[in-house]
Structure 1
Amino acid sequence: MDMRGNIGRLVGEGERLIRDHVWVLTPTHRAVLVKAAADLHAAVDTPQVQEALPVINRLEHLREALAAVAIALAHVHGRTAWFLGAAATVLTPVLHWRALPAEDGPAFGAVPPALQQYTEAEDAVRQLQRALVSIASP
């Protein structure tokens, strides 16, 4: 799993499409991306803040970030929706993570991630947030 690399490739493709005038953002789509960027920033704070949190809170914040992307996706269409859909797909592994012990019962396939996986996912969210700000700028 290379969330940072996948987000980086996605952002690179998006920037190229915008530069080549293939992906032309409407003012409405720009506003949705700005709101999504703000929501991502609110969900996942600085590395120092995130790393000081219990893993259950870190996972909660990552799920909030994924929800922010999904909500933005619901309000757009075309290339903007495709971009956000791809970003959501990159972040979906967090849906299979758990921070609580399963004890002796089933966990619906959820697994506890390594601490490095939290860090990588949080970095990917920050990378996506910065890209949304840049992409939304006229």
Structure 2
Amino acid sequence: MRTIIEDLAGQAEQQIRDQAWQVSDTDRAVAAKAAAELDAAVGPPAVQETLAVIDRLAHLREALAAVALALAHVHGRLAWFLGAAATALTPVLHWRALPDDNGPTFGTIAPTPQQYQDAEDAIRHLHTALTHITRTTD
């Protein structure tokens, strides 16, 4: 996930630098709100790693929800960027933190600590990318 988000952020930066993407005031406002929500959802590694897995998963889902809500409020390149980011983060939707108790899990899996870390790093990188978008001037 982290690698995909890094690639998306690089593409966004390039499009902005090449002036293929003219960041609007609406883009900046939506990006700022989403960045703040991502920052609130997923904290620094030292904090996240001390949480119970159920809380880590809840925070990741909150972050994905923030991306989805931001996507609902924009069009054009920011929507495309956020849509691709949401797609990259979709494995989180198939994760579970609770044991299966030998029953059906609807196809969910228990992620590894490395998968949690990768997803959290992806969220942090997405936060940084959105913060850069908010600082873009015409």
TM-score under structure 1 length normalisation: 0.97
Match of 1:5 among 3, 6, 22: 3
Letter aligned with residue 72 of structure 1 = A
Match of 1:86 in 2: 84
CA distance in 2, matches of 1:80, 1:4: 19
Runs (4+) off by over 2 Å: none
CA distance in 1, matches of 2:115, 2:23: 33
Query: 2:47 is matched with which residue?
Result: 49
Structure 2's unaligned 5+ residue stretches are none
Cα distance in structure 2, aligned partners of 1:131 and 1:81? 14
Query: How many Å apart are 1:28 and its aligned residue?
Result: 1.0
Q: How many residues align?
A: 136
From 126, 129, 136, give the equivalent of 2:127: 129
Q: Distance in 2 between matches of 1:132 and 1:121?
A: 16
Structure 1, unpaired ranges of 5+: none
State the partner residue of 1:111.
109
Give the whole-Å Cα distance in 1 for the aligned partners of 2:68 and 2:23.
Answer: 18
> Counterpart in 2 of 1:70?
68
The CA deviation string for residues 51-88 of structure 1, in whole angstroms up to 9 with x for no partner, is 00000000000000000000000000011100000000
Q: Measure the CA separation in 1 of the matches of 2:40 and 2:113.
A: 21
Amino acid at match of 2:46: Q
Q: Percent identity?
A: 63
Give the letter aligned to residue 20 of structure 1. D
